[in-house]
Structure 1
Amino acid sequence: MEAVKVENLSFAYPDNTKKALDDVSFCIDSGSFTLLMGESGSGKTTLLKLLKKEIAPIGETKGVITISGKKSDEISFNSVGYVAQSPETQIITDKVWHELAFGLESMGLSNDEIRLRVGETASYFGIGAWYHRDTDTLSGGQKQLLNLASVMVMRPDILLLDEPTSQLDPISASDFLATLKKINCELGITVIISEHRLEEVFPAADRVIVLKKGKIITDDTPRRVCVLIKDRPEFEGLPSAVRIWKSLKSDADCPLSVKEGRDFLDSYYPNIKGKIDVPLIEDGEKAIEFRDVFYRYDRNLPDVISGMNFYVRKGEIFEILGENGCGKSTLLKVISGLCTPYSGSCTILGRKIKEYKGNSLYGETLAMLPQDPTVLFLKNTVKEDLQSGWTLSGKKESDFQKNADKWIDLFGIEPLLSRHPYDLSGGEQQKCALVKLLLREPKILLLDEPTKGLDASFKNSLKQILHTLKEKGITIIAVTHDVEFAADSADRCGLLFDGKIIASYQTNRFFSNNTYYTTAASRIARGRFENAVRCDEIISICKGNDTK
């Protein structure tokens, strides 16, 4: 039975001649698990929202959408569930129990039915231990699990998810996807999910639809898709095992998971051993230094930062990992002066933060990309917003265009300049926000989840941009859940736990020593290739080359 049928669907946003979706057609069987993948801005979010009539974007729509044999505007609101990218934006109430009950109240169910459904759902999702808590005290992983449970308690036939793990740490993301697959297998719910983090969700899918510029370019099984797009840019985002297989030009079946990747190396490269040399990091002048720093949001609350000591050198790319809610974003707020510690010393470029008066810290010294980039947008178009940021930083308006053009071209946002920032995809918003910050030419750049919503191709471009900034002497501190990006871009990485950065090492040493906070390539190479944490390092060893 067809759960979803889309026929000749096209969509264009207001005042935009370019179509976000262009003559899209497909059918999805009931009970299947379908992955939507593609570059940022390819139309994934638009497509998912059009399948859920209550949140369908405003614009010109052509074509037919049929849900369970009915036109989309004829089905009840609870038939199709939707889980958004940001855990915070979907939570409505202040208590976990009330969030679970809210949708059922809207359905007009009796109190007895509501209590039964809420209790059963809370038990199934393991929410019982935090059932009475305030929603604003939950970690990111708990919030996203609550969002999923709040949708599932209404018993939808179809579940839509828009990059649901983009703001989750690796362990929370893995748990979330395991729960999602369990729902699909045990309850027969049709799942349609868009994602850029494909290491775990790609092997779990029954089917993969690849979008590019609003069109479907491939629609097949995961293993078949690997072959069909192996010469396209979208291939860069596929799991590590797949990319290793392609580069080694093997005639074996394409491995999809870490386990299959290890089996592939065992079968075709059984006797090869290798080691990646870990470079020494030269000491240098410190751009940022914390000494015994303590911070809490309220005197009656526990410390978020507790006796923290760490430093970052000038011109270094330092990336911080840790579970949701461990204090990574808070640390960036302390560095940027938005939060003031109650004890300890924080210095920026040799001066204590409190010595920076007025707006001097934010002039050409420091800039921060927040976790939610939309807070940076103040105008009705991207171009107006960039111009506003330029003039507010005290620069001459006549110099704007020549300085902006290089960043606009580098980030590829020319087609977005006339659009409202809030109409952009998450990845497009990230790009525009980064351009706005870089126009200020800061000496220190703080990035909170910089790869959120970005496709693999642009992540690689972002890595090159960060290294170019590093060569210009700019210091970069990023907090991220994207272990693959951190392994590919950072000079050093640190793990934040219990209010402290408990370990900070050169990137290869950091990830090769970790079991859980590490890359898929590191897991594939474990016990075979010492210190290898990236696909290119494994490939190089297998081909008999030295990687330094």
Structure 2
Amino acid sequence: MAHFAIEQLTFTYPGAARPALDGVSLGIEQGSYVVICGKSGCGKTTLLRHLKSVLTPHGDLAGRVLFEGVPLSEVPQRDQSSKIGFVMQNPDAQIVTDKVWHELAFGLESLGCDKDSMRFRVAEMASYFGIESWFHKDVRDLSGGQKQLLNLASIMAMRPSALILDEPTSQLDPIAASNFLATVRKINLELGVTIILTEHRLEDVFACADKVVVMYRGAVASVGDPLKVARELHASGNDMMAALPAPLRIFYGMETARAAGVGETPLAGSAAPASVTDPRDSAAQASMVSLRDVADARGAFGSHAAHAPLTVREGRRWLSDLASNEKVRPNTIPADEPLDAVEHPALSLKEVWFRYERDLPDVLRGASVDVAPGSVLAIMGGNGAGKSTMLRVACGIAKPYRGTVRIFGRKLKDWKAGSLFDGCLALLPQDPQNLFVKKTVREDLAEMLAGAHLSESERAQRIERVVDVTDIGSLLDSHPFDLSGGEQQRVALAKVLLTEPKILLLDEPTKGIDAFFKRKLASVLDKLKQQGVAIVMVSHDIEFCARYADAVAMMFDGEIIAESTPRTFFSSNSFYTTAANRMSRHVFPRAITDEDVIGQCMLR
């Protein structure tokens, strides 16, 4: 008997033109690990919310969901609360108390658990999840990773048989995300808890899955074990290939390039042949040889798709075999020159110190950085390092008590109230919902230009351009809060771009965004760079930063401790680096993107 049985589930939100779920049928076995993936807005979150009655959205519903053989609507709420755990994207959205120990006990209290049993379960969860050292802390003092781990521990204290996770790592740094997902895998393997997980970052979850479900426009496009799904996506030329883990992308990318006859000579100063793609050129990526044309191609780099590497470890062994058989040349990627000093920065922070309250520790401790016009600076670092705070200081939302902030050479305090945000500087906050004030996306966009000195036709043209760039035309009549996380991020970006800033501050711009829109976002950033816009991007998205940033800085303990080119930065790190680099660094030490590895392997 299936743990969950989804039978012809169709669901439409009120006023929507098409169903969010369209005839979804799926069986999920007890103790299995299921990964659900697809583009933003494909129905992943909507599907998960139908697996717990209290979270089911309002709308027109057909079909049914069975839990342990019983229609979910007939399963008592108490049983659903104890047996079906749900971890959301935003850690703060799920925490309801002020102390860690109380949060661990809250669910058990709600179930009426007796005091002795409650104490034992809380102690067990605190020990299992390594929470003892911060057991008595205030929740507000925890990092994002700790908050999400606390959410997971609080749910596991109720001993659920199924655990549903909706992009649980979207706000975590790479190390915290890997640790969190490793814990989830441990729960599945050791406790036999059924895991149902949606993720855009598939590197740490795809190979673990017993079943992968690919969704498209509310329907199931592909389902099966990881290798079967990867094989089907490759054979059909499905866009989801771009979202698969790096070892699979590289393996199939090499088959494609091999079949197309690419790889005779390298580009001067580049790791990738021109016909494969320049990783900074979205147009080149879009024109890449169609996988449909070479779906059956087999070459020296892999005789059958069943041998495709799923993990970095398997990919490393595969590349080692190629190197030992002299099928690849030694590394030919030159080292980057050091970054030049910025002579006339658009944004400059010098020895900035900041704390939120007088008696609290400093969040920024002498942070300094210069950002050149027409460039993208990516700032990385762990949760709580001070990255978002530095953006708030840069735009004057937070006032430092020491140090200087300059915008185009003028001190921040010399800018008149409001003038800074009038076509000069804009901030995309980490939580896009902070920007939504109207009932529809269309009204929200119009509100952004309400005070602008523009004619009606000029406003309409500006909105039309931004709508096209951010691909939100189908969302204009939707309520912003009814959208998926990725769709909300795109709408928020559209609002920010309407101001046409000269300095653009982005706090986690790729959070919740699928691999396909990331390419479009990259082209947007490239156009802004060409217009001389200075872009500062705080991000946990290593792959995106490696491809599209001009410089990458590491923030630690409230200050910038290193800054260099993406190739120098990522090829010299052990953990803050790309999957492509971890997979290939023993053969190609300076390769940091899929295209780098493919290009090196294709050289003759």
Residue 388 of structure 1 is matched in structure 2 by: 447
Mark the CA change 1:300 to 1:206 in structure 2 (over 3 Å): closer, same or farther. Answer: same
Residue 368 of structure 2 is matched in structure 1 by: 309
The amino acid that maps onto 1:43 is G
Residue 340 of structure 1 is matched in structure 2 by: 399
Residue 212 of structure 1 is matched in structure 2 by: 216
Residue 330 of structure 2 is matched in structure 1 by: 273
Q: What's the secondary structure of 2:137's corresponding residue?
A: coil
The amino acid that maps onto 1:277 is P
Query: Which whole-Å CA distance do the structure 2 matches of 1:186 and 1:87 have between them?
Result: 24
Query: Which whole-Å CA distance do the structure 1 matches of 2:451 and 2:54 have between them?
Result: 38
CA contact (8 A) 1:275 1:532 kept: no
Residue 107 of structure 1 is matched in structure 2 by: 111
The amino acid that maps onto 1:263 is R
Shift of residue 157, structure 1, vs aligned partner: 1.1
Query: Which whole-Å CA distance do the structure 2 matches of 1:284 and 1:60 have between them?
Result: 59
Mark the CA change 1:393 to 1:80 in structure 2 (over 3 Å): closer, same or farther. Answer: farther
Mark the CA change 1:304 to 1:185 in structure 2 (over 3 Å): closer, same or farther. Answer: same
Shift of residue 410, structure 1, vs aligned partner: 2.0
Query: Which whole-Å CA distance do the structure 2 matches of 1:503 and 1:68 have between them?
Result: 53
Query: Which whole-Å CA distance do the structure 2 matches of 1:214 and 1:105 have between them?
Result: 37
Residue 87 of structure 1 is matched in structure 2 by: 91
CA contact (8 A) 2:320 2:587 kept: no
The amino acid that maps onto 1:509 is T
Shift of residue 251, structure 1, vs aligned partner: 1.9
Q: What's the secondary structure of 1:58's corresponding residue?
A: coil
Mark the CA change 1:375 to 1:395 in structure 2 (over 3 Å): closer, same or farther. Answer: farther
Residue 317 of structure 2 is matched in structure 1 by: 263
Shift of residue 279, structure 1, vs aligned partner: 4.6
Residue 130 of structure 1 is matched in structure 2 by: 134
| 1:20-54 Cα shifts (integer Å, max 9, x gaps) | 00000010100000000000000000000111111
Out of 292, 303, 311, the residue aligned to residue 251 of structure 1 is 303
Mark the CA change 1:108 to 1:95 in structure 2 (over 3 Å): closer, same or farther. Answer: same
Residue 5 of structure 1 is matched in structure 2 by: 5
Mind listing any 5+ residue stretches in structure 1 that lack a counterpart? none
Q: What's the secondary structure of 1:259's corresponding residue?
A: helix
Q: What's the secondary structure of 1:391's corresponding residue?
A: coil
Q: What's the secondary structure of 1:371's corresponding residue?
A: coil
The amino acid that maps onto 2:248 is V
Shift of residue 400, structure 1, vs aligned partner: 1.6
1:437 aligns with 2:496: yes
Shift of residue 78, structure 1, vs aligned partner: 1.9
Aligned positions, number: 545
CA contact (8 A) 1:141 1:324 kept: yes
CA contact (8 A) 2:336 2:568 kept: no
| 1:60-85 Cα shifts (integer Å, max 9, x gaps) | 11101001111112222222110000
Mark the CA change 1:440 to 1:17 in structure 2 (over 3 Å): closer, same or farther. Answer: same
1:143-154 equivalences under 5 Å are: 143-154=147-158
| 1:298-357 Cα shifts (integer Å, max 9, x gaps) | 121111111122211111100000001111110100001100110011111111111111
The amino acid that maps onto 1:167 is Q
Q: What's the secondary structure of 1:155's corresponding residue?
A: coil
Q: What's the secondary structure of 1:91's corresponding residue?
A: coil
Residue 267 of structure 2 is matched in structure 1 by: none
Q: What's the secondary structure of 2:207's corresponding residue?
A: helix
Shift of residue 278, structure 1, vs aligned partner: 4.3
Return 488-497 or 302-311, whichever deviates more: 302-311
Shift of residue 493, structure 1, vs aligned partner: 0.2
Mind listing any 5+ residue stretches in structure 2 that lack a counterpart? 256-301
1:475 aligns with 2:529: no
The Cα RMSD (Å) is: 1.2
Residue 286 of structure 2 is matched in structure 1 by: none
Residue 19 of structure 2 is matched in structure 1 by: 19
Query: Which whole-Å CA distance do the structure 1 matches of 2:233 and 2:180 have between them?
Result: 28
CA contact (8 A) 1:336 1:366 kept: yes
Out of 524, 545, 562, the residue aligned to residue 486 of structure 1 is 545
The amino acid that maps onto 2:332 is K
| 1:428-471 Cα shifts (integer Å, max 9, x gaps) | 00111111111110001100000011111111111111111111
Shift of residue 154, structure 1, vs aligned partner: 0.9
Shift of residue 394, structure 1, vs aligned partner: 4.7
Query: Which whole-Å CA distance do the structure 2 matches of 1:499 and 1:23 have between them?
Result: 50
Query: Which whole-Å CA distance do the structure 2 matches of 1:455 and 1:488 have between them?
Result: 15
Q: What's the secondary structure of 1:51's corresponding residue?
A: coil
Residue 406 of structure 1 is matched in structure 2 by: 465
Return 268-277 or 514-523, whichever deviates more: 268-277
The amino acid that maps onto 2:432 is P
The amino acid that maps onto 2:505 is L
Shift of residue 524, structure 1, vs aligned partner: 1.1
The amino acid that maps onto 1:207 is K
Query: Which whole-Å CA distance do the structure 1 matches of 2:303 and 2:410 have between them?
Result: 59
Out of 228, 235, 238, the residue aligned to residue 241 of structure 2 is 235
CA contact (8 A) 1:293 1:307 kept: yes
The amino acid that maps onto 1:480 is S
Query: Which whole-Å CA distance do the structure 2 matches of 1:275 and 1:201 have between them?
Result: 32
Q: What's the secondary structure of 1:145's corresponding residue?
A: helix
Query: Which whole-Å CA distance do the structure 1 matches of 2:459 and 2:12 have between them?
Result: 30
Query: Which whole-Å CA distance do the structure 2 matches of 1:174 and 1:539 have between them?
Result: 26
Shift of residue 395, structure 1, vs aligned partner: 3.9
Residue 505 of structure 2 is matched in structure 1 by: 446
The amino acid that maps onto 2:97 is T
Residue 279 of structure 2 is matched in structure 1 by: none
CA contact (8 A) 1:38 1:212 kept: yes
Query: Which whole-Å CA distance do the structure 2 matches of 1:385 and 1:278 have between them?
Result: 46
Query: Which whole-Å CA distance do the structure 1 matches of 2:591 and 2:364 have between them?
Result: 32
Query: Which whole-Å CA distance do the structure 2 matches of 1:531 and 1:286 have between them?
Result: 29
| 1:404-440 Cα shifts (integer Å, max 9, x gaps) | 1122122211110000000000000011111111111
Q: Kindly, what percent of the aligned residue pairs are identical? A: 47
Shift of residue 393, structure 1, vs aligned partner: 4.3
| 1:241-268 Cα shifts (integer Å, max 9, x gaps) | 0011001112241101110111111112
Query: Which whole-Å CA distance do the structure 2 matches of 1:316 and 1:279 have between them?
Result: 17
The amino acid that maps onto 2:303 is D
| 1:481-526 Cα shifts (integer Å, max 9, x gaps) | 1101110110000000021110000110010011111110111121
Return 108-117 or 496-505, whichever deviates more: 108-117
Query: Which whole-Å CA distance do the structure 1 matches of 2:386 and 2:53 have between them?
Result: 37
Query: Which whole-Å CA distance do the structure 2 matches of 1:396 and 1:154 have between them?
Result: 59
Query: Which whole-Å CA distance do the structure 1 matches of 2:37 and 2:243 have between them?
Result: 9
CA contact (8 A) 2:5 2:65 kept: yes
The amino acid that maps onto 1:240 is A
Residue 45 of structure 1 is matched in structure 2 by: 45
CA contact (8 A) 1:295 1:305 kept: yes
Query: Which whole-Å CA distance do the structure 2 matches of 1:87 and 1:435 have between them?
Result: 25
CA contact (8 A) 1:2 1:69 kept: yes
The amino acid that maps onto 1:208 is V
Q: What's the secondary structure of 1:515's corresponding residue?
A: coil
CA contact (8 A) 1:275 1:530 kept: no
Query: Which whole-Å CA distance do the structure 2 matches of 1:530 and 1:209 have between them?
Result: 35
CA contact (8 A) 1:269 1:542 kept: no
| 1:74-119 Cα shifts (integer Å, max 9, x gaps) | 2222221100001111111101111111111111111111111111
The amino acid that maps onto 1:275 is T
Out of 223, 226, 230, the residue aligned to residue 226 of structure 1 is 230
CA contact (8 A) 2:319 2:587 kept: no
- Structure 1 runs (4+) deviating above 3 angstroms are 278-284, 392-398
Query: Which whole-Å CA distance do the structure 1 matches of 2:37 and 2:536 have between them?
Result: 29
